[in-house]
Amino acid sequence: MREITYAQALREALREEMKRDESVILIGEDIGIHGGAFSVTKGLIEEFGPERVRNTPISEAGFVGAAIGAALTGLRPIAEIMYVDFSTIAMDQIVNQAAKLRFMTGGKTCVPLVLRTQGGAGRGNAAQHSQSLEAWYAHIPGLLVVMPSSPYDAKGLLKSSIRDNNPIIFIEHKLLYATKGEVPDEGQEYLVPIGKADIKRKGSDVTIVTWSLMVRKALSAAEMLAEDGIAAEVVDVRTLRPLDTETIVESVKRTGRCVVVHEACKTGGFGAEVVARVVEEAFDYLDAPVLRVAAADTPIPYSKTLEDWVIPSEADIVSAVRRVVDG
């Protein structure tokens, strides 16, 4: 397979689905000529025209509401919110409308909406453009939450999300856009199923459960640990809701130890849900307490030095793994 970037993989997914289904439209701020804040939609307005690639005013509540209305009337909109931080402006539309309409109509209607957005820190964008808010959305019944870590998963999961009849929060990490990975040739059809985790690295001593950018850091940490004879298994959940508890639990049963890693701050982070499920379903198999590695409970600083201190590092993951392995 060829190697392409995460951003290119997302663009290919959008292009292929727009060619396949004329009901797929794009909506958001500067997504036309500029291709969005991170150039993912670059070139699509020239190919599909302004009727299907619609620039909007700077009003997240407005265009997310419009996207929900479009979904209710037969279209499959993909709305892009520049930063997940800005999704707060559309919270009523997302949480009280999109997530609940299928339930409140007894299944007579559905909201096939993909909200593409990006989260995470690492670029010095400071506290209002660097948050990891996935736990908020994973808490809401009716919403699906997808967080791919590789170009292959990004393309396959975005295609699956576009075809799904549920509202989906599709969160891309800003530091992943330039990363490269193997992806089948454009036009070679493949889908990655929503709700299925992937074991990115096999191991026998400890299970590291993680998602998004932290998958790359976990794999790097696993390489370091291997030099000391510790075989870490890395489980990429890929989707937080639905969560593939079975794959996580089966891995923990094999290794007897578990470390959960995420970039969001620790208190109330989705890692706590993963820990709870491991304890509920694999307690008798654990040889050590389950540990979490997460960001400090503080807004993300602008200072590069402070930002690096707040965000989990490979060294933090290595330290946590050694604690559970060494007892």
Catalytic residues: 60, 129
For residue 216, give every residue at least 6 positions away whose Cβ sits within 8 Å of its Cβ, in sequence order, or none.
149, 176, 179
113 close to 299: Cβ distance less than 8 angstroms: no
- Residue 257, classed as helix, strand or coil, is coil
- Residue 207, classed as helix, strand or coil, is strand
Distance CA 87, CA 71 (A): 18
Distance CA 12, CA 133 (A): 26
Chain CA centroid to CA 91, Å: 18
Distance CA 230, CA 208 (A): 12
Residue found under tokens 């933090």: 316
For the four alpha carbons of 239, 240, 244 and 249, in that order, the dihedral sign comes to positive
Instruction: Please confirm whether the linkage preceding 242 is cis (ω < 30° from 0).
Output: yes
Q: Which two tokens stand for residue 160?
A: 């699956």
Q: Report the greatest alpha carbon distance in the chain.
A: 60
80 close to 29: Cβ distance less than 8 angstroms: yes
191 close to 159: Cβ distance less than 8 angstroms: yes
